[in-house]
Structure 1
Amino acid sequence: MPETTPVTSAFLPQLPALSAQAERLIELGVHEVAGLPAAEFRAFAEAGEAAVGREGRAGAEGTLLAVHPDRAPASALAPLLRRDDKPGFVVTDMPDVDLFAPAAVELPDAPLYLVTGLDRGDHMSNWSPDEALPALTKEDRTPLLLTEGIHWVLQQPAALERNHCFMTIGSRLRKADGALDARTPAIWISNGTGRDGRERRNAPKVGWCWWNNRHTWLGFASTTGRRGRDDLTVPGQS
């Protein structure tokens, strides 16, 4: 593995309460994108808060409310990102962004779920995805999906900062022959160069990097686990 100087992401601001996260997504219209009533977001967030509270984990790990990518794809979420009053965008050479699906990542069979124990993976900056994935597996962590990374930045904009951005290698594109595409998705901040355009300087950017390449400014975002509605008691549901 390449030598790195660990930069912990533990000093990021704490995620908002799940109820506040639900309201944020509703305000952005994500419930409409997902085809779900706002009340379902609120009920799930309430159940999630109760569950992590009972287990003594509220605030300890940081819990993120996520929408299943089949319900809210990256192409719909990326423009909702904001930095310096500039909307997020997907790079022009990634028109197939929504085809990047979970790879070796099990998602709850539910439209809404929780992502726990988030880490930006700063200590893996200047590693390649090929090097980072087995290290995460050894730590009993799984990489974030692209949509989960976008949800994280929507709720906690400070998670994305210059020189400390991150890859989301839980999402991969499988080609027609069954092999995985060498592109791996990431979220970073545009410099406004090339096809991005000067008007997009400092805007949040969804792009990709090669599987075997290293980047000093990209860590590897990961999670300790995911929990769906079957793991929670949602008010009004059995």
Structure 2
Amino acid sequence: MTSNQFDAGGEFDRQIRTLLDRGHHRAAGLSEEELAALLAPLRRTATERATGLEPSAAGRTPFVLVVTRDLVPIKEAVARTTLDGKKKPGFIDRNFPEDDLPGFVPTKEVELPDARAYLLFDVERGEEFCGAVPDDAMAAIAGRGRTLLTIEEGLAVVTQFPALLAKNKCFSLGGSRCGDRRVPAIWISQNAPKLGWCWAGNPHTWLGMASAADRAA
């Protein structure tokens, strides 16, 4: 492996360690060994698909290991996020009632390869869509053949790559909807990540639209 080649296996191992360090196994009701064993088969997929790609850079990353609400409840996943270099845990916006969360599920265009955990490839936070109407941003991403991120995928991005959630470069998560005009989003508030929502027709200068190339188990 040349010095400038992306080490997909090493990055996969780092993401496993991050989940364990942040206590995702406890939130899932598992031991460290049990969660690691459950996720271990994804390592081969990561190395086959991502080796040779460029490493993470501003606004993008080759892949992210996603743990869904079937393993870790969304509230617990939010609380295990932080901003880059900060310690304050993420939280849910008061305008996003906890009993609303179960209704925000993957849209019909989003097909999860596994209900528990999988890999998300070629992830972009989508700051080019800052200031765009979310409906327009979602249509543009669909036109490129890319997929919108779900709530769990957005939380996975911030968990593994907290620097991707930056001032004026936060992002919506159009892959999870509940049938109304609300679009989930994650942004910065009170020096911590905040999970909330914005209207599909209302643009925000600091809120883009995250997307990925595809998913695999």
Q: For the superposition of Structure 1 and Structure 2, which TM-score range results when normalised by the shorter chain?
A: 0.7 to 0.9
Aligned partner (choices 33, 37, 48) of residue 40 of structure 1: 37
Aligned positions of 1:1-238 closer than 5 A: 17-35=11-29, 37-41=34-38, 43-52=40-49, 56-57=52-53, 59=55, 62-83=62-83, 84-95=86-97, 96-103=100-107, 104-173=109-178, 180-190=179-189, 201-228=190-217
Amino acid at match of 2:194: K
Report the Cα offset of residue 35 of structure 1. Answer: 4.6
Aligned residues: CA RMSD: 2.2
Report the Cα offset of residue 56 of structure 1. Answer: 3.8
Q: What is the CA deviation profile of residues 80-110 of structure 1, one whole-angstrom value per residue up to 9, with x for unaligned ones?
A: 1123321100012212223211012110134
Report the Cα offset of residue 32 of structure 1. Answer: 3.5
Q: What is the CA deviation profile of residues 34-89 of structure 1, one whole-angstrom value per residue up to 9, with x for unaligned ones?
A: 35513324523432343225x64474861110012332232121011123321100
| Contact 2:42 2:118 (C-alpha < 8 Å) held by counterparts | no
| Contact 2:46 2:119 (C-alpha < 8 Å) held by counterparts | no
Q: Which has the larger radius of gyration?
A: 1
| Contact 1:102 1:172 (C-alpha < 8 Å) held by counterparts | yes
3-state DSSP of counterpart to 1:107: coil
| Contact 1:22 1:45 (C-alpha < 8 Å) held by counterparts | no
| Contact 2:173 2:184 (C-alpha < 8 Å) held by counterparts | yes
Q: Structure 1 pair 35/44, CA: closer, same or farther in 2 (3 Å)?
A: farther
| Contact 1:86 1:202 (C-alpha < 8 Å) held by counterparts | yes
**23-32 vs 201-210, greater mean Cα deviation:** 23-32
3-state DSSP of counterpart to 1:62: strand
3-state DSSP of counterpart to 2:208: strand
| Contact 1:19 1:45 (C-alpha < 8 Å) held by counterparts | no
| Contact 2:150 2:176 (C-alpha < 8 Å) held by counterparts | yes
Amino acid at match of 1:25: L
| Contact 1:145 1:168 (C-alpha < 8 Å) held by counterparts | yes
Structure 2: unaligned runs, 5 residues or longer: 1-6
State the identity as a percent: 39
3-state DSSP of counterpart to 1:17: helix
Distance 1:100 1:171 in 2: 5
Amino acid at match of 1:76: E
Structure 1: unaligned runs, 5 residues or longer: 1-13, 174-179, 191-200, 229-238
Distance 1:205 1:98 in 2: 17
| Contact 1:73 1:147 (C-alpha < 8 Å) held by counterparts | no
Amino acid at match of 1:111: R
Report the Cα offset of residue 134 of structure 1. Answer: 1.3
Distance 1:225 1:154 in 2: 19
Distance 2:54 2:12 in 1: 10
Amino acid at match of 2:20: I
